[in-house]
Amino acid sequence: MCSSDLHDVEVLTGKPNYPDGALFPGYEQDGCMTEVFADRITVHRIPLRPRGAGGAKNLALNYLSFVWSGMRHSFRLLGGKRFDAILVYAPSPITAALPAIWLKWRLRSHLAVWIQDLWPESLAATGFVRNRILLRITGALVAWIYSRADTLLVQSRGFVASVSRRASLDKIVYFPNAYCDLGPATARGKLPPMLEDLLESHDCLVFAGNIGRAQAMGTLVEAAASLSDLPRFKLVVVGSGSELQAIKDEAARRGIENIIFAGRFPPALMPEIFDRSAALLVSLTREEIFSLTIPDRKSVV
């Protein structure tokens, strides 16, 4: 998001701690702080409990701490300003919308929730929550959150049926994720020499993104092992996430050498990586809920 002559944008978020589970250097767990992004967007950061090593308990505490801090600090941080709209970007957890509902009530603003993950379905599919009673309670909470939103934006048309079971169809709007054109390759930045050489000298299948349970990373390890007889083939994994160390350990244990964990890179470098790859890979666990996440072919630009 950005501000322009037509829009003034302020962001309310937590202290950065994903994916490693520890606060980034320069941030402290306690207290609020305000930064300016790209010299024009005010970013208010509220305290939260870091994710730690992961696991259901740590994640739940992380989620709840954001809700508590958001409801406690958000109105004060915004200084009583009036806003035409409040937009919640809502990957997991959907509970991030709770402070926005509080702000909507205080500011009398239009509330739009941009749904990136379906709850409680994604909780069940990833195995984070298996208890049926907890899933029902979560479903009821999701329905309540949807009922308080004025607009529900869905990133895939496949989401409409699921969301409409808990919300009025007339407030659901298809709004796919956008791609930001970063311009010609000369303006993108330069890759590290080792990665550039790897992409040029081998046939590289590139996976880029979050490395978590939903991405079926075990399947990628098996695929790399089955293709070990192809001397030019490399599976390059770009990104990080909660399952990164586990698949690194598995690849090392089995002596799989054609899977390369390249790490994280700034967005400006990603088009260069994509251009130099032989092919790109999208991998998701075989669950019906994740099949709905993939955009319609006609919506891909």
- DSSP string computed for 74-136: HHHHTTT---SEEEEEESS-GGGHHHHHHHHHHHT-EEEEEE-S-TTHHHHHHTS---HHHHH
- Separation between Cα atoms, residue 45 and residue 34, nearest integer Å: 6
pLDDT > 60? residue 262 = yes
Name the pLDDT band for 102 (thresholds 50, 70, 90): very high
Whether residue 277 contacts residue 271, with contact meaning beta carbons closer than 8 Å, is answered with no
Residue with the larger pLDDT of the pair 2 and 192: 192
- Identify the pLDDT of residue 149: 97
Name the pLDDT band for 300 (thresholds 50, 70, 90): very low
Q: What is the mean pLDDT of residues 107-122?
A: 93
Mean of all residue pLDDT scores within the chain: 87
pLDDT > 80? residue 78 = yes
Name the pLDDT band for 179 (thresholds 50, 70, 90): low
Give the number of other CB atoms < 10 A from CB of residue 290.
Answer: 21
Name the pLDDT band for 235 (thresholds 50, 70, 90): very high
pLDDT digits (tens, 9 = 90+) for 47-68: 999 988 767 788 889 999 999 9
| Three-state secondary-structure class, residue 160 | helix
pLDDT > 70? residue 183 = no
Name the pLDDT band for 213 (thresholds 50, 70, 90): confident
What percentage of the chain carries pLDDT values higher than 70?
92
- Identify the pLDDT of residue 57: 83
Name the pLDDT band for 121 (thresholds 50, 70, 90): confident
- Identify the pLDDT of residue 166: 95
**pTM, whole model, 2 decimals?**
0.79
- Separation between Cα atoms, residue 298 and residue 301, nearest integer Å: 8
Give the number of other CB atoms < 10 A from CB of residue 210.
Answer: 16
Q: How would you classify the pairing of strands 151-154 and 279-281?
A: unpaired
Q: What is the mean pLDDT of residues 116-131?
A: 83
Q: What is the mean pLDDT of residues 34-41?
A: 90
Extended strands (E) in the chain: 10-14, 33-37, 41-46, 85-90, 110-115, 151-154, 172-174, 203-208, 233-238, 259-263, 279-281
pLDDT > 90? residue 230 = yes
The closest alpha carbon to 111, from 149, 83, 147, 146, belongs to: 149
Q: Is the Cα torsion angle 25, 26, 28, 31 positive or negative in sign?
A: negative
